[in-house]
Amino acid sequence: MMRAAGSEARGRERVSQPVEGRWGGNARRAGVPVLLAGLALGIGLLAAGCAADQPDIFRARGSAGEEIRQLAVQIFIILSVVLITVWALLAYVIVRYRKRPESEASETRGNLKIEIVWTLIPAAIIVVLFILTVRTTQNLALPDPGAQFTVVGHQWWWEFDFADEGFATANEVHVAARRQVSADVVSTDVIHSFWVPQMGGKVDMIPGHVNKVAFVPLKEGRYLGECSEFCGAQHGKMRFLFVVDSPAEFSDWVRAQQQPAAAPASPEARAGAAVIATVGCGGCHAVRGTSLKGTFGPDLTHFGSRGGIGAWSLTNTPENLLTWLEDPQAVKPECLMPRVALPPDQQKQLVAYLEELQ
Ligand code: CUA
């Protein structure tokens, strides 16, 4: 009972921790130009079928994100100067050469000087934008020391496979701050896109093809990750938590993830262990150290330590887990998780067991 109470307390603590990004971000400190640029980008994101709520790319916390933020600001400033100059010239011309009763419009053509000037100025602007962009692209290219883990896109959840360390997890991944993250990204079904807005740019996840993602997380925190390529009905509920730990915390996390599932402590969870072994969850899910060895769905070995259910369709609380198990299709229509039809007492035991998987 002590253990169950402890894990519940940890659960609350976890949920109440601030998450950078959509679940608790703070864009109020951003200046007006940044907000305007954000608005323009937000409209672009909406048009692309992504979330209505914009992730905050202007508070970059990763090396790639910072490079991209700087480029976005530089381009915004240059284009603002162009816009203001054109508007000012337009206003001047409208006033200076407005129609007067006594004047006739004269036709001017073939002014070579003007033709050269208005060709050279835009060409120079494009050259500057080109140089800035190429420089950013070069800065984004980091050495490839080999992938530390593989991100696998599924409809609609994320698998993080740490093959060298011997574990896999789902919808939540930890990395060490100020150390380069290098990962392979792939997909098992359709094209998804890996994106942690505060870390860096999007990387497509293409079936049958391995793409690379590399950046240095600069600051500890909990960040929103999401799929940024439309991938089916639940594209919008394909999110994950990207946690940047201190190097020592990260080592602890890896060690904890490597452990097989702890034996259930409370009587209810023990009963739940018997339920899960017989009800067929093992056809899709694995719980290392038990008879559940499925690989089709998320690995549940440390399910209770994660903050979300169904790729963050719900936060991970016992009540929400019960809702999810009773009817996943109501929470996330068309997802591949079937409803777990069990008597209410067994549902509760299953929930107790899963939440104890810390
Ligand atoms: Cu996966 Cu959109």
Q: What is the mean pLDDT of residues 182-200?
A: 95
Q: What is the pTM of this model?
A: 0.79
CA of 230 to the centre of ligand 1 (A): 5
Helix, strand, coil % over all residues of the chain, rounded to 5: 40, 20, 40
Compute the distance between CA of residue 51 and CA of residue 218 in angstroms, rounded to an integer: 25
Residues touching ligand 1 (Cβ under 6 Å) are 153, 156, 192, 227, 229-231, 235, 238
Q: Which amino acid is it at 152? A: V
Q: Which amino acid is it at 69? A: R
Look at residue 190 and tell me whether its pLDDT is greater than 80: yes
Joined together, the tokens standing for residue 107 give 């036709």
pLDDT of 44 reads 46
Beta-bridge partners for 62:
217
Q: What is the mean pLDDT of residues 101-129?
A: 87
Joined together, the tokens standing for residue 199 give 């870390």
pLDDT of 109 reads 78
pLDDT of 340 reads 84
pLDDT of 55 reads 67
Predicted confidence band of residue 12 (pLDDT cuts 50, 70, 90):
very low
pLDDT of 105 reads 75
Compute the distance between CA of residue 85 and CA of residue 87 in angstroms, rounded to an integer: 5
Atom of ligand 1 nearest to the CA of 156: 1
Atom of ligand 1 nearest to the CA of 190: 1
Residue 316: partners with Cβ closer than 8 Å, 6 or more residues away: 11, 14, 15, 303, 304, 306, 307, 308, 309, 355
CA of 228 to the centre of ligand 1 (A): 6
Is 264 in contact with 356 (CB distance < 8 Å)? yes
Atom of ligand 1 nearest to the CA of 153: 1
- Residue recorded with tokens 């549902």: 347
CA of 193 to the centre of ligand 1 (A): 6
CA of 238 to the centre of ligand 1 (A): 6
Q: Could you report the per-residue pLDDT of 70-103, keeping only the tens digit for each?
A: 999 999 999 999 999 999 999 999 998 888 887 7
The three-state secondary structure class of 94 is: helix
Range in 12-26, 128-142, 294-308 with the lowest mean pLDDT: 12-26
Look at residue 26 and tell me whether its pLDDT is greater than 90: no
